[in-house]
Chain A
């Protein structure tokens, strides 16, 4: 069981990220309504997933590279501190971002928007507790291990993104076809709070696992 949990966490967090209206499905639905087209929703969803994946991949790449030069324990501790700092930043200043992409955007703009949203929200950092053990597992052999880590990191990003895309796509279709946007008024719970809690929790998990037992 132990070797599966990081994968489950990756997929679970993917689902959580996909659930958040601010991460993309709502934008896809809005574009569909504006352009009176179901096709645009089906085009928007992969673009959004691509931007999200790029943001996660940068963090995964950083883990693999940093793992080559510092000890796992230091990486865990550093990641933990970074996450808690990000949680505080997100709580205090998360609403202050410049808006750069509007309703007339193309798919490239949408992917960029998704990348910026995921990065600013620390989506990649939130998956560190799953990424670090996967990417650093049994790596005493330098270069060969690094290549293996890159492969594992890519699979990790893929699994997370696939889960995110499935959930965000399902919600987009459900809202567009059956639920209607009125559902926003009651069902849009405060993801910012959940998100901040998620970041802080991930930080604490890292700090605890960094502590020599």
Chain B
């Protein structure tokens, strides 16, 4: 398991990680929304020099049906080089792949053949619930004390959701992470500032409020998550809550600055109940406390009722539904996926309080149905959703499915999956790689993308 020298994919700092070689493979969660056929991890060839470029070269099938593979992550990454908790000779080798619906956790070994990982361990849902006290595992992050998994429900599938730890060698569930959770009950994403001993968590809702789809009454009643929680990473105690207020719903993806000396990060709020806009907020220090500032508003676009799904007809507008964001390794470009309007935006956030729009592409969308150069003019549905950026910041990959039952609420005709790639210029600006369009196998839909060797949402660093 261990090695003589540190894993070559571990980098002390984000600046060094940017010089990493380009990824040759992408791993993509692929799930059957009907829960009939087992889900899989699709392995996509992303090496432009390869004859199978932009093709799915393998799919690793899970042993059961109905897992709903969603987010996943590595067993170990660059945080293993941290001085206070060094584990430099663990290998980045295993993908930890939870089923969001089943709560089953799969461990895939990528070492022998990275293009064809093998399932080496499966932790069954009952064991996860018993040992962690949580279910519905969502975000997976490698970190200072092992593998951190943010889970949306407790053992009974109710509140509180929270974070649990797994051993990065044996993959045993080590138990609940929080020692004092304060007023935190809802869970969604979790990440940290290693340089500021702070863990941040965000909120969606409990499994009974989303597993059959978003519930309009809960949404319009502002009862889904709308808060950020700040924790001491090492004492594991809750320190501060920031409530976005009853106009805002669904505070989701946490993208702290990669530079560990910087104490700020970005988070997307999916929906404003006032005008259906989405917003991007930056959290930052304000004296001895954390504070948030809204930096970007993306408005809803007017639409005819007959262009809209039943849920939106009354509003005569299509909401942008920003459901994922990603920050480049140099903390300069923020990518914003507008799943409703079918747009992917790039902002220069060198000054996090003064974002500048530097690029935009359109594909899919509830109304737009924009096509892609590789799709022969065919209208596409779904929209930019899970977005991942290469370590050097030159390539951006994204897929179009959000969550099985929610796809149906916004794309009721049935979402046809795809994955695309953008080329990003170092000084800003994005454009489609015309050759890269993957028409996803119709039985499944793609969700999170992980890049071989690490990407912009996988690793955290202890050195600037």
Contacts and interface: CB of A to CB of B under 8 A. Distances in A.
B441 interface: no
Given A185-B10, A185-B12, A95 B169 contact: yes
A34 B86 contact: no
Given A189-B5, A192-B2, A103 B90 contact: no
A27 interface: yes
B178 interface: no
Nearest to B235: A100
A186 B12 contact: no
Nearest to A25: B83
Nearest to B90: A95
A34 B2 contact: no
A27 B16 CA distance: 19
B13 interface: yes
B12 A181 contact: yes
B377 interface: no
A26 B11 contact: no
Contacts of B89: 190, 192-193
Contacts of A21: 83, 86, 88
A181 B464 CA distance: 10
Given A27-B83, A101-B84, A104-B197, A188 B6 contact: yes
A186 B168 CA distance: 22
Contacts of A99: 84-85, 144-145, 234
Contacts of B12: 181-182, 184-185
A29 to B, nearest CB: 7
Q: Chain B: interface residue count, which band?
A: 35 or more
A102 B234 contact: yes
A189 B85 CA distance: 16
A27 B235 CA distance: 19
A136 B86 CA distance: 36
A43 B2 CA distance: 33
Q: Chain A: interface residue count, which band?
A: 20 to 34
A52 B42 CA distance: 49
A30 B462 contact: yes
Contact of A26 (B5, B6, B86, B233): B86
A33 interface: yes
Interface in A171-194: 181-182, 184-186, 188-190, 192-193
Contacts of B90: 95
Nearest to B196: A104
A182 B16 contact: yes
A71 interface: no
Nearest to A192: B89
A102 B11 CA distance: 19
Contact of B8 (A185, A190, A193): A185
Nearest to A187: B5
B376 interface: no
A22 interface: yes
Interface in B253-277: 260-261
A158 B178 CA distance: 40
B463 A181 contact: yes
A113 interface: yes
B321 interface: no
A104 B13 CA distance: 18
A182 B11 CA distance: 8
Question: Counting chain A CB atoms within 10 Å of each CB, which of B13, B86, B90, B168 scores highest?
Answer: B86
B144 A34 contact: no
B196 A190 contact: no
Interface string B73-99: 000000001111111111000000000
Interface string B1-32: 01111101011110010000000000000000
B128 interface: no
B233 A102 contact: yes
Interface string B282-316: 00000000000000000000000000000000000
29 contacts: A22-B83, A26-B83, A27-B83, A30-B82, A30-B83, A30-B462, A33-B463, A34-B195, A34-B261, A34-B464, A95-B90, A99-B145, A99-B234, A102-B197, A103-B84, A103-B194, A103-B462, A113-B84, A181-B12, A181-B13, A182-B12, A185-B6, A185-B8, A185-B12, A185-B16, A188-B88, A189-B5, A190-B2, A193-B4
Interface of A: 21-22, 26-27, 29-30, 33-34, 95-105, 113, 181-182, 184-186, 188-190, 192-193
Given A33-B261, A100-B235, 6 more contacts: A21-B83, A101-B84, A103-B197, A184-B88, A189-B5, A193-B4
